[in-house]
């Protein structure tokens, strides 16, 4: 992904009860925390309790995608990097999300074709949502209003 900071739905997600889920930045930075990460955490911890994602594996650079999940009343639809969800990262993410959302069904969906372009499920759902919104014509500006 070429964006150095990404979109908020790849960084943080609100969990409820004044808690936010923060992506695995520190794990990916391997102890060399970047100034952006330090600032983001400082800003968030002033307002929220932070739950940081951390996977029991050597996370790939695409492991940011797991935070870009979809949530329904009963389920979490979790991105997967491998078609059969068998890679170490997919299995580690599945385990973490089962623990975080123990009252929901966790389903993984192969999304690497989206991920390689810098998005995942939440990104795609928002883009679809906006395409469904009605558009309203803009009234013309008259000479008196200009």
- What CA–CA distance (Å, rounded) separates 79 from 27? 19
d(CA 119, CA 60): 15
Q: Give the dihedral of Cα atoms 3, 126, 75, 88; nearest 10 deg.
A: -20
Q: Are strands 70-71 and 12-16 parallel, antiparallel or unpaired?
A: unpaired
Note whether residue 142 is domain-resident: no
Query: 57 in helix, strand or coil?
Result: coil
- Domain-embedded: residue 138: no
Residue 52 in domain: yes
Positive or negative torsion for Cα 88, 91, 97, 102: negative
Q: Look at residue 59 in the predicted model and tell me its pLDDT.
A: 86
pLDDT at residue 141 in the model:
61
What confidence score (pLDDT) does residue 136 get?
58
Instruction: Indicate which CATH number applies to the domain containing 35.
Output: 3.75.10.10
Number of domains the chain is built from: 1
b/e 17-28 (16+ beta carbons within 10 angstroms → b): eeebbbbbbbbb
In a domain, 86, yes or no: yes
The boundaries of the domain holding residue 50 are: 8-130
Q: Is residue 110 part of a domain?
A: yes
Q: What is the pLDDT of residue 1?
A: 42
Task: Look at residue 104 and tell me if it is in a domain.
Answer: yes
Tell me the per-residue pLDDT of 77-111, one tens digit each, with 9 for 90 and over. 999 998 998 999 999 999 999 999 999 999 999 98
93 vs 110: CA distance, rounded Å: 13
Task: Tell whether 54 is covered by a domain.
Answer: yes
Stretches in the chain below the pLDDT threshold 50: 1, 5, 128-130, 146
Task: Kindly state whether residue 140 falls inside one of the protein's structural domains.
Answer: no
Instruction: Identify the pLDDT of residue 128.
Output: 47
């Amino acid at each position: 992904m070429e964006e150095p900071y990404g979109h908020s739905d790849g960084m943080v997600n609100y969990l409820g009860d004044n808690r936010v889920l923060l992506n695995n930045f520190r794990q990916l930075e391997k102890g060399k925390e970047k100034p952006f990460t330090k600032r983001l955490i400082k800003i968030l911890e002033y307002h929220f309790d932070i739950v940081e994602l951390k996977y029991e594996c050597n996370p790939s650079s695409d492991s940011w995608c797991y935070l870009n999940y979809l949530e329904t009343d009963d389920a979490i639809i979790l991105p997967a990097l491998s078609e059969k969800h068998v890679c170490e990262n997919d299995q580690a993410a599945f385990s973490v999300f089962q623990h975080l959302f123990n009252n929901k069904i966790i389903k993984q969906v192969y999304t690497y074709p989206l991920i390689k372009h810098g998005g995942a499920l939440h990104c795609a759902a928002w883009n679809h949502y906006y395409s469904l919104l009605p558009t309203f014509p803009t009234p013309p500006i008259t000479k008196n209003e200009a």
